[in-house]
């Protein structure tokens, strides 16, 4: 498969989940595919996302070496940079999710130009207006706190 640019990539948000995603990736994918999503308009960039596993070290007296073990997985946060459009349905859904103080996450879908799709569950943690100058587009900076695995559509 050839490499691609990010052009034509889309991110969408679904309605608030009523429970955590299933731990089985195939079951989670089935649930996430059944959701109706709203595309977020005017997205300029999607920041890095994906798991990092914490390094847990153990120093053995006997061997005199440190051992590295895998600890907690953390998908962290990702930032969206969006051209501000107060009438865009997807942007309004992000704002609603930002103000939602529920313990439940929102599902997100990232669709790439080659047909690859990533899904994840997150909370909208930041919602700021940026780029307020005479020479720039007013933008919305949105931060997503990812609380699930990144599930791609190749899981099945």
Chunked mean pLDDT (size 10), the chain, 156 residues: 88 97 94 97 96 94 92 96 97 98 96 95 96 91 97 77
Find where tokens 């997150």 sit.
122
Q: Cite the beta strand spans of 92-146 per DSSP E.
A: 106-111, 117-130, 139-146
Report d(CA 19, CA 154) in Å as an integer: 23
Q: How confident is the model at residue 155, as a pLDDT?
A: 57
Q: How confident is the model at residue 34, as a pLDDT?
A: 97
Total number of domains in the chain: 1
Give the predicted TM-score (pTM) of the model. 0.92
**Residue 108 within a domain:** yes
Q: How confident is the model at residue 92, as a pLDDT?
A: 98
Q: How confident is the model at residue 114, as a pLDDT?
A: 92
CATH code of residue 20: 4.10.410
**Residue 64 within a domain:** yes
Start-to-end CA span in the chain (Å): 19
- Is residue 86 a contact partner of residue 123, using CB atoms and an 8 Å limit? no
Strand 52-59, strand 43-46: pairing: unpaired
Q: How confident is the model at residue 2, as a pLDDT?
A: 82
Domain that holds residue 60: 10-152
Q: How confident is the model at residue 131, as a pLDDT?
A: 81
């Amino acid at each position: 498969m050839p490499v691609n640019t990010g052009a034509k990539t889309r991110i969408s948000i679904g309605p608030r989940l009523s429970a955590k995603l299933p731990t089985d990736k195939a079951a989670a994918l089935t649930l996430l595919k059944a959701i109706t999503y709203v595309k977020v308009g005017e997205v300029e960039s999607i920041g890095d996302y994906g798991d990092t596993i914490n390094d847990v070290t153990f120093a053995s007296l006997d061997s005199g070496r440190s051992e590295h073990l895998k600890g907690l997985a953390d998908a962290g946060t990702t930032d969206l940079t969006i051209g501000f459009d107060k009438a865009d349905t997807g942007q309004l859904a992000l704002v609603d999710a930002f103000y939602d103080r529920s313990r439940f996450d929102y599902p997100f879908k990232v669709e790439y130009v080659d047909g690859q799709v990533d899904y994840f569950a997150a909370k909208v943690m930041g919602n700021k207006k940026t780029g307020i100058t005479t020479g720039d587009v007013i933008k919305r900076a949105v931060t997503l706190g990812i609380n699930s695995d990144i599930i791609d559509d190749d899981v099945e």
